[in-house]
Amino acid sequence: MDWHESTTPFVPRPDSSLSFFYNYNNNNNPIYPGVEVKEGALLVERGGMEKMNNREKKKRLTSNQLELLERSFQEEIKLDPERKMKLSRELGLQPRQIAVWFQNRRSRWKTKQLEHLYDVLKQQFDVISKEKQTLQEEVMKLKRMLRTQTVGGYTEMSGEETVESTSEGNKLRGRTSNITEALCSFTVEDYNTLSLPPCQWPYYP
């Protein structure tokens, strides 16, 4: 899940309705006085686009700025105050802009991770699904064989006792239902510990 092993594992926050999404634990939330400028660098307020006339036009970051930000992000997904100020100085951007960029970047990163996870799970599901189909076909085949044998004078299986209700059938059922349960009960907490193939960053949608 982490870009680097150094980053904090995905730990849902307790007691939060949004805990599902809280990747990054907040236990060592640093004090960072006077840096987080709530307006200042930002150009537009909600519903106040007319105010932009007096402000700087919203600009895209330059390729150099993006390159450095991206490098920094890949070193560490979280932004500590010191690094924020350093990047701010180096890139000539407001600290708030750096913070926003990291925020948005983490968001994009997580979206990609979820897409990747979906692909992995789908692949696994397809394989298992195929396997189940093969086994079901085999069961049908065995049933047919049994029926032929009983017609020919062999011992007949009583009433409901089919191949599926035998120990083999139970094994098969148990196995498939376990797989289904496992897939249906998959949570993001599992996602934390799931070992995924290495994720090639940066990749964009």
Amino acid residing at 60: R
Q: Which one of 106-114, 121-129, 147-155, 177-185 is the stretch in contact with DNA (CB under 7 A)?
A: 106-114
Judged by CB under 7 A, the stretch of 36-44, 120-128, 145-153, 165-173 that binds DNA is 36-44
Among 4, 28, 155, 158, binds DNA (CB under 7 A): 28
Structure letter (DSSP) for residue 20: G
Closer of 99 and 172 to DNA (Cβ):
99
CA-nearest of 108, 109, 121, 103 to 191 is: 121
Identified binder of DNA from the candidate list 2, 3, 7, 61, rule CB under 7 A: 61
Q: Report d(CA 180, CA 132) in Å as an integer.
A: 11
The rounded distance, in Å, linking the Cα atoms of 97 and 84 is 9
* First-residue to last-residue Cα distance in the chain: 18
Size of the site for DNA (CB under 7 A): 57
Q: How far apart are alpha carbons 23 and 10 in whole angstroms? A: 4
Report if residue 88 touches DNA, rule: CB under 7 A: no
Q: What angle do CA 40, 46, 52 make, to 5 degrees?
A: 55
Q: Does 42 bind DNA (CB under 7 A)?
A: yes
Which one of the spans 93-101, 115-123, 143-151, 179-187 is the region binding DNA (CB under 7 A)?
Answer: 93-101
Residues of this chain that interact with DNA (CB under 7 A) are 13-19, 21-24, 26-36, 39, 41-49, 52, 57-61, 66, 78-79, 81, 96-97, 99-108, 110, 204-205
